Amino acid sequence: MPCDLILVLDAPSTRELTPVLRRLAGTVRWAKVGLELFTAEGPDSVRAVADLGFRVFLDLKLHDIPNTVAKAVESASRLPIGMLTLHAAGGRRMMAAAAEARRGASPDLLLLAVTVLTSLGESDLADIGVAGAPVEQVLRLGRLAVESGLSGLVCSPVELPRLRAQLPGNLQLVTPGIRPAGSPGDDQKRVMTPAAAARAGANYIVVGRPILQAADPAEAALAILAELNAQR
């Protein structure tokens, strides 16, 4: 199964990222605009990244009442984005409302349900009243997302085999928690190498600090792409 790289743009400004993005344009297809950059620069950050030739994954993790999230999906769909996230924990009605809004506003937009953040382990889930291992909660929320009309999930790579075995084969799985061999885990608890995630069934891997904090970010990104291409 082909697996693609999404570059995480964790920085306070697009200006800071522009040199790296220009070097990677035409090689890395996807870039993720998350809360840090979107809070700093708003929709202009999305447009700036798109103008540099990247497809944009807007990672806002929407989580609110159904009507509010549906309206947010409609608003976001007017931006040049290819993916958008919401929290599966928002429930069936919220996800169904978001899916309906996407169908009306931007049918090609891939709406992704975030299951369990890769920074959380079993004890973290217990703190918020969720019993059991993260994989069980990921499966529970993944099934709910599919039943609600979503066609993609964000999960850790550790859950990929169970999701591939138990959920529809055409489900798009996007996996943060990716660390090249020898890289520190940072605040991620459920991690895997790029090649292992590709073999386990990821459609996209999401990588930030191992690229942006490398001595040569472009070289680090190209090394990950080579690792993914070797799995095809």
Alpha-carbon dihedral angle through residues 129, 130, 132, 136, given to the nearest 10 degrees: 180
Residue 146 has pLDDT above 70, yes or no: yes
Residue 56, H or E segment: strand 55-62
* Cβ atoms of residues 32 and 59 within 8 Å: yes
Q: Which residues are catalytic?
A: 61
Rounded Cα gap, residues 62 and 217, in angstroms: 30
15: confidence class by pLDDT, cuts 50, 70, 90: very high
Q: What is the pLDDT of residue 99?
A: 98
- Quick one: tokens of 183? 């890289």
User: How many alpha carbons fall within 13 Å on the CB side of residue 202?
Assistant: 30
Residue 189 has pLDDT above 60, yes or no: no
| 75-174-144 Cα angle (round to 5) | 75
Residue 183 has pLDDT above 70, yes or no: no
Residue 31, H or E segment: strand 30-33
Report how many domains make up the chain. 1
What pLDDT digit, counting tens, does each position of 52-74 carry? 999 999 999 999 999 999 999 99
Coil, strand, or helix at residue 3? coil
Residue 40 belongs to domain with CATH number = 3.20.20.70
Q: What is the pLDDT of residue 229?
A: 82
Dihedral (CA of 49, 200, 147, 142) sign: negative
* Cβ atoms of residues 167 and 142 within 8 Å: yes
Q: Which domain holds residue 64?
A: 4-229
Rounded Cα gap, residues 182 and 185, in angstroms: 9
